[in-house]
Amino acid sequence: MSKAAVLGAGSWGTAFAKVLADAGTDVTMWARRAEVAESIAGRHENVDYLPGVALPSTLTATDDAAAALDGADFVVLAVPSQSLRSNLAEWSPMIGEDATLLSLAKGIETGTLMRMSQVIVQVTGADPGRVAVLSGPNLAREIAIEQPAATVIACTDSTRALALQKASATGYFRPYTNSDVIGCEIGGACKNVIALACGMAAGSGLGDNTIASIITRGLAEIIRLGVALGAKPTTLAGLAGVGDLVATCSSPLSRNRSFGERLGQGGSMETAQEATHGQVAEGVKSCSSVRALASSYDVEMPLTDAVHRVCHEGLVVQDAIGQLLGRRTKSE
Ligand SMILES: NC(=O)c1ccc[n+]([C@@H]2O[C@H](COP(=O)([O-])OP(=O)(O)OC[C@H]3O[C@@H](n4cnc5c(N)ncnc54)[C@H](O)[C@@H]3O)[C@@H](O)[C@H]2O)c1
Ligand SMILES: O=P(O)(O)OC[C@H](O)CO
């Protein structure tokens, strides 16, 4: 039986740990707070992040990273993007030398403008072939209650991608393999920014035509950036692109969409943060790093730029909408 350590016990770390356990993988979770680890190991419930969801009795948890990592074939990184580097620096010496590192995070690091797989390679010194990413339309609570969904596991080493696929395939969770790590990561990070824009529109009282227009033009700018970075357009037309974009932009479960909705209703950044119930809305920081990354590749991303200006430069949502519609007309 293969062994996995899931580092991070938030909503997605917990839901994906359940998937792995249901697929027959031996899983130990690491939680930052002892009481969260105790709740998972003792009550088989993560009361803080996934209340009401019964976790498998085979799923164990600890607040000791070394214990979780001991003998792990798969190291699943489930902390927010902006804290991955500092956490990984601590964990790196405890990671087995042939372990596969799987990133669940959907963000671009501020400052360095690195994708998570690049951060992992830089911090651990691992060969890039040992690093995989998982991305797709995977709202944690829906997966946790076993509603069927698909995802993408991307790794340049197909043997490792297949091993992860086997370790996480269940009757409700269907992982597809892909070798396009860049495409999956760009799709995952950028859709959060577009979901913020959709939330802002919905919060302003705008309807489905507007949302569909934002999703579609959002996809256009995501593809532009992805292709500039070396991603395959087909990846962005798949689960890790369109699939995740549609799910996140449409769902009331999305923290990014909910955050944007509060801003669209006229709320402050602080009240918008409350809409995420203490969980991370990655797009709030990644809108700035995605915008900077796009600028360094001379890629135009007007929606991302507008989201950045609303979140970080005080632009009012209604003015952002006016400015977007006031841009010169052009061909599709
Ligand atoms: N929740 C989802 O539906 C979902 C689905 C797919 C991908 N993701 C991605 O997975 C990643 C993790 O998201 P999540 O939903 O589990 O987030 P979350 O906010 O629910 O939980 C984050 C976890 O990381 C921990 N954490 C926060 N800051 C930390 C720090 N500085 N050091 C160590 N631990 C820290 C928290 O205690 C918590 O256990 C994000 O990049 C997110 O975009 C989330
Ligand atoms: O709740 P969000 O906005 O972080 O989105 C969750 C997942 O990424 C959806 O696939």
What DSSP designation does 39 have?
Answer: I
Write down which residue in 145, 179, 213 finishes a domain: 179
Same domain? For 232 and 166 the reply is no
What are the structure tokens assigned to 191, written together? 């859709």
309, 292 contact by CB (below 8 A): no
Distance from Cα 11 to the centre of ligand 1, integer Å: 7
Binding-site annotation: residue ranges for NADPH: 11-12, 32-33, 49, 106, 140, 255, 280, 282
Going by DSSP bridges, is the β-strand pair 60-62/26-30 parallel, antiparallel, or unpaired?
Answer: parallel
Same domain? For 43 and 146 the reply is yes
Give yes or no for residue 106 CB within 6 A of ligand 1. Answer: yes
Same domain? For 205 and 154 the reply is no
Same domain? For 270 and 163 the reply is no
Catalytic residues: 191
Q: Is residue 331 situated within a structural domain? A: no
What DSSP designation does 54 have?
Answer: P
Q: Is residue 194 situated within a structural domain? A: yes
Write the pLDDT tens digit of every residue in 34-77.
999 999 999 999 999 999 999 999 999 999 999 999 999 999 99
> The domain containing residue 235 runs over which residues?
182-325
pTM: 0.98
Same domain? For 153 and 131 the reply is yes
The burial class, CB within 10 Å (0-12 / 13-18 / 19+), for 230 is: exposed
Distance from Cα 194 to the centre of ligand 2, integer Å: 11
For ligand 2, which residues put their CB under 6 angstroms from it?
Answer: 106, 137-139, 192, 195, 244, 247-248, 254-256, 282
CATH number at residue 174: 3.40.50.720
Same domain? For 13 and 127 the reply is yes
Tally of residues, the chain? 332
Same domain? For 9 and 154 the reply is yes
Which atom of ligand 1 is least distant from the CA of 107? 41
Write down which residue in 158, 179, 200 finishes a domain: 179
Write the pLDDT tens digit of every residue in 90-120.
999 999 999 999 999 999 999 999 999 999 9
Considering every ligand atom shown, identify the ligand nearest to the alpha carbon of residue 106 and give its number: 1
Q: 5 forms bridges with which residues in the sheet?
A: 28, 75
Same domain? For 117 and 138 the reply is yes
- Look at phi and psi of residue 205 and say left if phi exceeds 0, alpha if psi is from -120 to 50, else beta: left
d(CA 12, CA 134): 11
| Tally of domains in the chain | 2
**What residue owns the CA closest to ligand 1's atom 11?**
105
As a whole number, mean pLDDT of residues 243-250 equals 98
Same domain? For 56 and 13 the reply is yes
Write down which residue in 179, 198, 227 finishes a domain: 179
Give yes or no for residue 143 CB within 6 A of ligand 1. Answer: no
Write the pLDDT tens digit of every residue in 142-180.
999 999 999 999 999 999 999 999 999 999 999 999 999
CATH number at residue 218: 1.10.1040.10
Which whole-number Å values give the CA distances from 234 to 166, 177, 240, in the listed order? 23, 13, 10
Q: What are phi and psi of 134, to 5 degrees?
A: -120, 130
